[in-house]
């Protein structure tokens, strides 16, 4: 599966899907973002079971602000709609592959239980 553009209009729909959703927050002027893009795209082709989304922080500043993006690229991952990973910086291919494998193996019921136990840690990605 190729990457998909994530916008305010389709974010909720993507978060509602079961499984793993990765979001790459990026901008066209960002050198590290440009270096990370082919790595992210290549893995998206190899892992059709994972949704690989891209959020253009210039086109979607509200989403970037709501997600607390202070540096790009930043990778956020959601398992069944629950935030499970958030890290700034371009990951090398082996590290990105490892992150995807580990997050794919997470038990969604345990993730939901942990999120319910700590609602103050839940992300608020929709802009106000």
pLDDT tens, residue by residue, 72-114: 999 999 999 999 999 999 999 999 999 999 999 998 777 777 7
Going from the C-alpha of 97 to that of each of 9, 43, 62, 128, the distances in angstroms are 29, 7, 29, 33
Domains and CATH numbers, the chain: 4-121 (3.40.30.10)
Which entry of 15, 23, 33, 125 is annotated as an active-site residue?
A: 33
Q: Which of the pair, 26 or 113, is modelled with greater confidence? A: 26
* Phi/psi of residue 116, nearest 5 degrees: -65, -35
Which entry of 15, 21, 23, 30 is annotated as an active-site residue?
A: 30
Annotation says 33 is catalytic:
yes
pLDDT of 128: 47
Annotation says 30 is catalytic:
yes
pLDDT of 77: 96
pLDDT at 66 over 90: yes
What is the chain's alpha carbon radius of gyration, rounded to the nearest angstrom? 14
Average pLDDT over the chain, rounded to an integer:
90
């Amino acid at each position: 599966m190729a990457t998909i553009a994530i916008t305010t209009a389709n974010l909720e729909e993507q978060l509602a899907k079961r499984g793993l959703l990765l979001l790459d927050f990026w901008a066209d002027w960002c050198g590290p973002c440009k270096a990370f893009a082919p790595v992210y795209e290549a893995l998206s082709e190899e892992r059709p079971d994972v949704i690989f989304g891209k959020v253009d922080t210039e086109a979607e500043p509200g989403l970037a602000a709501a997600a607390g993006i202070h540096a790009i690229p930043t990778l956020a991952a959601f398992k069944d709609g629950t935030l499970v990973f958030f890290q700034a910086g371009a990951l090398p291919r082996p590290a990105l592959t490892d992150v995807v494998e580990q997050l794919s193996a997470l038990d969604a019921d345990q993730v939901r239980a942990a999120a319910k136990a700590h609602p103050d840690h839940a992300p608020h990605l929709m802009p106000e």
